[in-house]
Amino acid sequence: MFGSRLLSSLSEAGHEAELIGSEAALRGRLTDGGRPFPDALVADLTDDRLDGASMLEALRAEDLLGGLRSLAFFSHVETAVRERARQAGFELVVPRSRMAREAATVLDGLLAG
């Protein structure tokens, strides 16, 4: 549900966004030369099916990220998750509540540098 709202919010703000549900799917997307390379990776750290921090580290180690900007959001009560994401190298880590309110603004800020 939240993913659909996030995609809608980003789309309304003029961003082209897609939901990718696994590390394997993301790897495929990043190596698909037939499609434009994404501007940013937004990871939902509240999703227990995927370890976003480990995923980012693995993609970086394999040099698959290029200049891809990275943003992660977490549950505000999970401070250890926030710190782990920062250690993994996410450029911006924000609470999920902020993403719900300001997704496009947060992404615009990240992309602006």
> What are the chain's domains?
2-112 (3.40.50.2300)
- What pLDDT, on the 0 to 100 scale, is given for residue 20? 85
Per the prediction, the chain carries an average pLDDT of 90
Taking 80 as the threshold, does the pLDDT of residue 38 lie above it? yes
pTM: 0.87
Which pLDDT does position 1 carry in this prediction? 65
User: Which of 18-22, 28-32, 79-83, 94-98 shows the lowest mean pLDDT across its residues?
Assistant: 18-22
Whether the per-residue pLDDT at 49 is higher than 80: the answer is yes
d(Cα 70, Cα 89) in Å, to the nearest integer? 8
Quick one: average pLDDT of 27-34?
88
Picking from 20, 1, 13, 40, the residue whose alpha carbon sits closest to that of residue 102 is: 13
Higher pLDDT pick, 70 / 5: 70
